[in-house]
Structure 1
Amino acid sequence: MTAQTPPALPFRDTDLPFAKRIDDLLSRLTLEEKTGFLHQFAPAVERLGVAAFRTGQEALHGVAWMGPATVFPQAVGLGATWNQELVRRVGEAVSRETRAMRARDERVGLNVWSPTVNLLRHPLWGRNEEGYSEDPRLTSAIATAYTHGLRGDHPVYWRTAPVLKHWLAHNNETDRDTSSSSVRPRVLHEYDLRAFRETVEAGAVAGVMPAYNLVNGRPNHVSPYLREQLRTWTEQDLLVCSDAGAPSNLVDSEHYFDTHEEATAAALRAGVDSFTDHGTDGSTIVGRVRGALERGLLTEADIDAAVRRQLSVRFRLGEFDPGADPYSGEQAFDTPEHRALAREAAEQAIVLLKNDALLPLAPDSRVAVVGLLADECKLDWYSGSLIHRSTPLEGLHERFGADRVEFAEGVDRVLLKTSSGAFLHVPAAPDAPGTARGAEGALDPALLAGRTDLPPLTARAAGTELALADWGEGVLTLRAPDGRYLSVAEDGYVRASADQPGGWIVQETFRLEPHGDGHLLRHVGTGRHVQVAADGVKVAEEDPEVFELVVVERGQDAVTRAAARADVVVVVAGNDPHINGRETEDRTTLRLPAQQERLLRTARAANPNTVLVLVSAYPYAVDPADLPAMLWTAHGGQAAGTALARVLAGDVSPAGRLPQTWYADDAGLPDLLDYDVIGARQTYLYFEGTPLFPFGHGRSYASFSYGEVTARVADARVRVGFAVTNTGDRTADEVPQLYTRAVNPSVPRPRRELLAHRRVTLAPGETAELSFVVPLSAFAFWDVAAGRWRVEPGAYELLAGASSEDVRARTTVTLEGEPAVPRPVLERGLDAADFDEQSGTEIVDRTRTAGDAVTPVADGEGELLFRSCDFGAGAGEVTVEVSGGGTVELVLDAGPPLAALTPEVPTSGPYDYTTLRASFAAVEGVHDVRLRLRGPLRLARAGFSG
């Protein structure tokens, strides 16, 4: 008798829908197995043939942390392209490389943690490089394109499963795990949620990652918005992955819960499905979940809900259908197409800020390229390793010829002399003499930081000349003549062992501290001073060496010589993505580092034909008045230098556009922790000052004219059209932008607000007839009185132009909308956070699980204003729900206080509310209500009765 092949288990049956297959697999898992799935590194279930699974693979602008990969421009650079189709192709290339790398290395995950859709509200945010724009619609458009590329176009299976970062209202690294973003409902819905919502609704998002911070006093990892907002936007299962270490922060740094069992249970119930904590070791999380189960804080159904969402992603990735997965054989890696795309993206990301006819450069120009970034191709924390590289110097050599390009880095060349008269000496690297680069420009793995097999620095009679670069705020790097940066390894010795500054804690930065007649050299990473010992140079707590700084050559002198010999000078300035502004570290100023400002002035004094190229992860405040040309690009990945040279030479007409406002100086900035973009008049939406360069700004080598704007309202849509014509003499891209402005709003509305945009390529004389269909919902605002979106009736301007300030044509439409009605306070009362305006207050959590309350800042005095409150036929009593101690004072319109309510005894805790009542002389009709808050109290709501 022939043996029969046992039938496949139902979860392996490709003829069944995913939902039934997930049900079957879930039913076969034990509680212990399901609990194990809750950690980032879910173990295999061998008895069912289920493989181990890892959530999380960084892929912000290329596959990161897994070795060589194609490196595209930083996310803010992709945002500057304003080109969704290009960004979709970049996402597709990244997902193809992810699959190809996964085929060779199972550590490469298919659940990619990208893109970052946090809005670039504040330009001093250290992670500015990771976002796309300060505008929610542009951010969503670019993020949607990237996720569609990452997802792939198969109707069933996904090439990778993208997770959006970081939910929610996250824009500061300062105290990022303990600070709370006070976000009123209008800002929440109109600004912070919008970028996430429109991207999720587009259908190519697998999930989100909560941010470290708190919103309105409650950690994002227990946010009710995950349930109340996120999961209502799509019928698809969404996977919520915690940020690294954040589950433990709920107790350890935030002190929001008393025990980790409570915290883990609360996060799981709120909607967190995968816990990224304690590295690859899941035992701690599993232990906490078991403890929560034993204490009745969780049920198996809670665990099932999380595991179901995980399994949904794994089925969509084709894990259980290897024969049907269309992406399983993907081999596209570092292809000619990907290299060309990296260059195209880098070219399209370049923004021409100013040009007084200096650019493009003449073909026979003699060029001096100077500056700290002139011969650098910088990586950031979320970059892959470079396979190819192109610096501005290399790009200009390639385009103009090495004999026509002169280079001056502009850094001081110094010797460090010890108190004994010897000098610091850098021994040669035995495995890589004379160069820090391998074949084709790839980073030489022998020169990664952290090596302990290279000899440490010593002190000798003949020292080594070091390049000293000042990156601002006293932070320095020191580099040997062969390109190796001085770095400190775990054993504390100083070696020349890094190709670039990098790492979670940068080990290549130092500070020179005046001491007597010399300087101490402090290592930033360890906080220790450099010591010269018999066994080599190291950092230590005691006996610091006092160095004399001997300047062999001033960087400014080299710049002056090179600039004087050139027809044009290209000054390349900006930041190193690992220094003075990055994850864990916000910037302190918009100014360029002082050394780079000096180099710019030096170059300009020596040669008036000076082009400033800013290569940076964020905006700077640089006065362009005496500069004939100025460009900005984010760190552009592997093709950055080639792309820049082609734009400077005119092979490509620049058409990047600024994705955020460039402020003229620090005085124009709000406080970093002030998230009220409406009240603080932040971003181009509300900023009333004069920016250095406005949102959407970018010039071209061509010129463009705009035709009349036409608009027609029908079928709950506004159909808008206008023509754009290339009136220049070369083919070029233009980025027409469509904005709106409510003419007579009843509440503060944006000065102008982006509705749509399109990047178009036009030959000389060519005209593009552009049309946009805008839903009426795009004109709505969040009505705090009604608790929903509302389109206000009235006139709306439609503005077409080349930036938010460069409006070329306009028209006005009248929308019927829905008229405002006074707040029915007798029926609905007033939720404290639904104010129209406020001063001196912040929003906090009403309870640990849901709701908002308002408290005075620092237990001081604050006021809430609620406009147009309808008291009907009359009211004479007010009730307030408060916790803590203090006073609530009721004022109508601009009159005297009508009532003051103070608890006799402060309540026992912030979530222990009491109801206070007070009578006042009866009032009727419509009035503005002011609630003044004094002292350490929380106000949840107020009610009124006759």
Structure 2
Amino acid sequence: MLEKLTVAEKIAMLHQSQPAVPRLGLAAFHTGCEALHGAAWLGRATVFPQAVGLGATWDRALLTAVAEAAATEVRAYRHDPPEGTEPASLNVWSPVVNPLRDPRWGRNEEGYSEDPLATAELAIAYCTGLRGRHPDVWRTAPVLKHFLAYNVETGRDVVDVTVPERVLYEYELPVFLEPLRAGVVAGVMPAYNLVNGVPNHVHPLLGRALRAARPGVVICSDAQAPSNLVTSQRYFATHAESHAAALRAGVDSYTDNGPDPAPTIERFTEALARGLITEADIDAAVGRLLALRASTGEFDPARDPYAGTRRDVIACEAHNRLAARAARSAMVLLRNEGGALPLRDASVAVIGPLGGRVLRDWYSGTLPYAVTIEAALRDRLGPDRVTAAEGVDLVRLVAADGRHVHAAPDGSLSLAEGPGAVFAHQDWGTSVQCPSPVHTLRCLDHGYLTAGDDGVLSVTAATPDGWTVRELWRLEHSLRNDASGRYVSASLIADADAPDLGLRLERVADGPAEAAAAARAADRAIVVLGNDPHINGRETVDRDGLALPADQERLLRAVVAANPDTVLVLVSSYPYAIDWAAAHVPAILWTAHAGQEQGNAVADTLLGANNPGGRLPQTWYGAGTELPAPLDHDVIGSGWTYQYHRGTPLFPFGHGLSYTTFGYGPLTVCREDDGWLAAVTVTNTGDVPGDEVVQVYATPHDWPVRAPARRLVAFERVTLEPGETSELRLPIPSWVLSYWHEGRLNGPAGPVTFTVSASESTSKATSKSTSTTTV
């Protein structure tokens, strides 16, 4: 088909939105559909736990099943879209495989693990589900994001990240190369940043590494990144030069200028005319794009086994059950002193801003339903045994002249005499982008206080979840909109340069005091804290530290003082430095935002119907830990991640407790052609069924370079009944113990001590034995 296209038609195909070519029977096509933890941006869909929550399951089979469900729903939106909507693209931009080096990264929720082996293995599992098992036709065509060394949102399009060669080859590259070599990846998306002085969209590693691993891989640009080569990065003088360089480097598809292909067409036409590229360069890119389309059965629908997929599979009962299984599997029990969990016969007070809410993130689909923690506990314990207190202050907004903000039935606002509308006030803390705290104000009778595109205030927002979050406010002598940076004027429009109105908060109810009273009146208090994925830690916004927002920390301490029998449930996209809680709260449970079944999963875990089997996919550092600078990507030299960090973490990588206990037999490791094979038995030595994540670590002894203290080399999640023993055989690939030295990647060398345990820190593996062998 390629030879039948004109040059102009081929150039047009380089843009994300490819036009139809009726004379050849080619339909219009666009790259890009999100499926990070379920089909996203299409409408109603099954919402699974965030990617970091899927990472916490350490369960390859589960990730494959989740991806199969997500891809099936994408197929439904392709073949049977709702009336008036465009069919979905079968080119899905998922998963994100950047290792979670820095827990302050705004997009921490999108990755799987800080460890390259865990990330690569889980990515292969997820891509296997997205690709499907048909030998010829792919269910969807997955694209890995974001190549290369992408862990910073602050100035992400201009930052130049220095990555030592050893870190590049041992830490950054394997997460991309291993899924490519597994044959389950259709494409890779470069990141916005520069690496070692070169923008990723023209980096020689696109060809030298990615295409070497999989010659036909499609390189698909990130949004507006091709133009950034000239505008923000100023790496090239003209767009014709930049686009030509990107094409020669290997970029095939250009996500630029939204759906408008005209600028891209103009730039490539000029580049061809100036001799900056050849028609052969264009043919190579278009050929790969056509092959991607062909792989999904587009050109031969009669042979497409997925073409009959209809919308009745979207959020179907089977997918809902899978969402429940995934949410339960992602629960991580961080602390459980004195058997505080599971909860016994008790009345409970559910306290905190997240107890009665289920939150989406930027890459979520529209929830088909949502079960909150509060609702799930009421369902199980009975409504008379569950009380709730949000624990936030209630306030009114009052101007300097004494008038209050009033809300009309339609959500519009006005200033008038007399008591005004009452708002629930929430402090969400600070970020790199906003060093002063940001706040939300939710009108009890309406929605969130928001500023429209024109700055006009209303209380019509259901939740703060736009790309630009207009529901965030700063308290700087007066109310100031975070999105626009403008103060509220007397006309209740966020359009003032100075705080002339003097709009301030007037407290009418003390949230922590009411929460403490609720805690005292119940047998047990369950405090649910964490983040909103659209605030202070998300795409474009990095965190400036690891602490809980100050108001949440104060709330927790007030509740514990009122009722020491408190359980802390953290629902968050990233780790927190919860040192005080780790010392004073008997039980702590963590989950990522877990989707539609979040409440059921948490309630079942608290009550013992679900034995938590999740394990931390990244290190939780303590408050006193001095983390390297965000742009310091020298994982080895700077002591990032469990492999090279020499301090004592608050909770180590791989940590997670259970309601049962496990014991291990001797570990044996023998050499194989391409690595090793570890063998070990694990037994449930307790009295309830449970899941163990068996983790094999290696410590090299005679490397000529600094070796990691411990490195994960194999893992497996296994379910065991009381007294049951499983004999596990765990392959250890040689690449995981290869090291970079003297300009090349060297195979494993010297004696290596292998340890099997339940976390990277043996001393933290409470009630779980370990076994060690040296080969």
TM-score band w.r.t. shorter chain: over 0.9
8 Å Cα contact 1:522-1:530 kept in structure 2: yes
Alignment partner of 1:334 is 2:315: yes
Show the counterpart of 1:177.
Answer: 157
8 Å Cα contact 1:144-1:204 kept in structure 2: yes
Q: Which secondary structure state, in structure 2, belongs to the residue aligned with residue 413 of structure 1?
A: strand
Alignment partner of 1:638 is 2:588: no
Quick one: structure 1 residues 548 and 120, their matched pair in 2 at CA, closer, same or farther if it must change by over 3 Å?
A: closer
Alignment partner of 1:486 is 2:465: no
Alignment partner of 1:40 is 2:16: yes
Residue type matched to 2:771 in 1?
A: R
Alignment of 1:766-785 (within 5 A): 766-783=724-741, 785=742
Residue type matched to 1:389 in 2?
A: A
CA distance in 2, matches of 1:39, 1:400: 56
Alignment partner of 1:193 is 2:193: no
Alignment of 1:252-651 (within 5 A): 252-331=231-310, 332-429=313-410, 455-473=412-430, 474-482=437-445, 484-514=447-477, 520-533=478-491, 537-541=493-497, 544-623=500-579, 624-651=582-609
Alignment partner of 1:811 is 2:772: yes
Quick one: structure 1 residues 457 and 318, their matched pair in 2 at CA, closer, same or farther if it must change by over 3 Å?
A: farther
Quick one: structure 1 residues 588 and 280, their matched pair in 2 at CA, closer, same or farther if it must change by over 3 Å?
A: same
Percent identity, aligned pairs only, is 51
Query: Aligned to 2:193, which of 183, 204, 213?
Result: 213
In terms of fraction of residues, the more helix-rich structure is: 2
Q: CA deviation at 1:716?
A: 4.7
Alignment partner of 1:50 is 2:29: no
Show the counterpart of 2:433.
Answer: none
Q: CA deviation at 1:374?
A: 1.3
Residue type matched to 1:592 in 2?
A: L
Q: CA deviation at 1:399?
A: 1.9
Structure 1 runs of 4+ aligned residues shifted over 4 Å read none
Alignment of 1:664-743 (within 5 A): 664-665=622-623, 667-743=625-701
CA distance in 2, matches of 1:49, 1:347: 47
Residue type matched to 2:143 in 1?
A: V
Show the counterpart of 1:871.
Answer: none
Quick one: structure 1 residues 556 and 775, their matched pair in 2 at CA, closer, same or farther if it must change by over 3 Å?
A: closer
Show the counterpart of 1:856.
Answer: none
8 Å Cα contact 1:456-1:537 kept in structure 2: no
Render the CA deviation track for 1:849-897: whole Å, top value 9, x for unaligned. Answer: xxxxxxxxxxxxxxxxxxxxxxxxxxxxxxxxxxxxxxxxxxxxxxxxx
Q: Which secondary structure state, in structure 1, belongs to the residue aligned with residue 266 of structure 2?
A: helix
Residue type matched to 2:282 in 1?
A: I
CA distance in 2, matches of 1:36, 1:224: 25
Query: Aligned to 2:71, which of 76, 87, 95?
Result: 95
CA distance in 2, matches of 1:81, 1:392: 20
Structure 2 unaligned blocks of 5 or more: 431-436
Q: Which secondary structure state, in structure 1, belongs to the residue aligned with residue 40 of structure 2?
A: coil
Q: Which secondary structure state, in structure 2, belongs to the residue aligned with residue 764 of structure 1?
A: coil
Show the counterpart of 1:895.
Answer: none
Count residues with an aligned counterpart.
756
Q: Which secondary structure state, in structure 2, belongs to the residue aligned with residue 252 of structure 1?
A: coil
Q: CA deviation at 1:34?
A: 0.3
8 Å Cα contact 1:647-1:653 kept in structure 2: yes
Render the CA deviation track for 1:496-547: whole Å, top value 9, x for unaligned. Answer: 1111111111000001113xxxxx00010111111232xx555434673113
8 Å Cα contact 1:62-1:71 kept in structure 2: yes
CA distance in 1, matches of 2:159, 2:494: 37
CA distance in 2, matches of 1:677, 1:59: 29
Alignment partner of 1:655 is 2:616: no
8 Å Cα contact 1:262-1:297 kept in structure 2: yes
8 Å Cα contact 1:457-1:494 kept in structure 2: no
Quick one: structure 1 residues 542 and 684, their matched pair in 2 at CA, closer, same or farther if it must change by over 3 Å?
A: closer
Structure 1 unaligned blocks of 5 or more: 1-24, 430-453, 515-519, 815-946
Query: Aligned to 1:229, which of 209, 214, 221?
Result: 209
Quick one: structure 1 residues 714 and 387, their matched pair in 2 at CA, closer, same or farther if it must change by over 3 Å?
A: closer
Show the counterpart of 1:76.
Answer: 52
In terms of fraction of residues, the more strand-rich structure is: 1
Quick one: structure 1 residues 714 and 68, their matched pair in 2 at CA, closer, same or farther if it must change by over 3 Å?
A: closer
CA distance in 2, matches of 1:252, 1:281: 18
Quick one: structure 1 residues 522 and 315, their matched pair in 2 at CA, closer, same or farther if it must change by over 3 Å?
A: same
CA distance in 2, matches of 1:811, 1:545: 68
CA distance in 1, matches of 2:183, 2:229: 31
Show the counterpart of 1:16.
Answer: none
Render the CA deviation track for 1:661-697: whole Å, top value 9, x for unaligned. Answer: 1111263311100001011111001100000000000
The Cα RMSD (Å) is 1.4
Residue type matched to 1:210 in 2?
A: P
Quick one: structure 1 residues 482 and 108, their matched pair in 2 at CA, closer, same or farther if it must change by over 3 Å?
A: farther
Render the CA deviation track for 1:904-936: whole Å, top value 9, x for unaligned. Answer: xxxxxxxxxxxxxxxxxxxxxxxxxxxxxxxxx
Higher relative contact order (CA 8 A, sep 6+): 2
8 Å Cα contact 1:459-1:532 kept in structure 2: no
Larger radius of gyration: 1
Render the CA deviation track for 1:562-592: whole Å, top value 9, x for unaligned. Answer: 1001111111111111111111111001000
CA distance in 1, matches of 2:380, 2:676: 47
Render the CA deviation track for 1:829-864: whole Å, top value 9, x for unaligned. Answer: xxxxxxxxxxxxxxxxxxxxxxxxxxxxxxxxxxxx
Quick one: structure 1 residues 642 and 714, their matched pair in 2 at CA, closer, same or farther if it must change by over 3 Å?
A: closer
Show the counterpart of 1:30.
Answer: 6
Alignment partner of 1:788 is 2:752: no
Q: Which secondary structure state, in structure 2, belongs to the residue aligned with residue 163 of structure 1?
A: strand
Q: Which secondary structure state, in structure 2, belongs to the residue aligned with residue 670 of structure 1?
A: coil
Q: Which secondary structure state, in structure 1, belongs to the residue aligned with residue 583 of structure 2?
A: coil
Residue type matched to 1:472 in 2?
A: G
8 Å Cα contact 1:44-1:53 kept in structure 2: yes
Render the CA deviation track for 1:197-254: whole Å, top value 9, x for unaligned. Answer: 111111110000000000101000001111101011125x111110001001101010
Residue type matched to 1:582 in 2?
A: R
Render the CA deviation track for 1:240-296: whole Å, top value 9, x for unaligned. Answer: 110001001101010101111100000011000000010000000100001111111
With normalisation by structure 1, the TM-score equals: 0.79
CA distance in 2, matches of 1:546, 1:801: 59
Residue type matched to 2:428 in 1?
A: W
Q: CA deviation at 1:107?
A: 4.1
Quick one: structure 1 residues 542 and 710, their matched pair in 2 at CA, closer, same or farther if it must change by over 3 Å?
A: closer
Q: CA deviation at 1:714?
A: 4.4
8 Å Cα contact 1:365-1:567 kept in structure 2: yes
Quick one: structure 1 residues 224 and 641, their matched pair in 2 at CA, closer, same or farther if it must change by over 3 Å?
A: same
CA distance in 2, matches of 1:266, 1:126: 30
8 Å Cα contact 1:572-1:615 kept in structure 2: yes
Quick one: structure 1 residues 415 and 299, their matched pair in 2 at CA, closer, same or farther if it must change by over 3 Å?
A: same
Q: CA deviation at 1:711?
A: 2.1
CA distance in 1, matches of 2:462, 2:13: 39
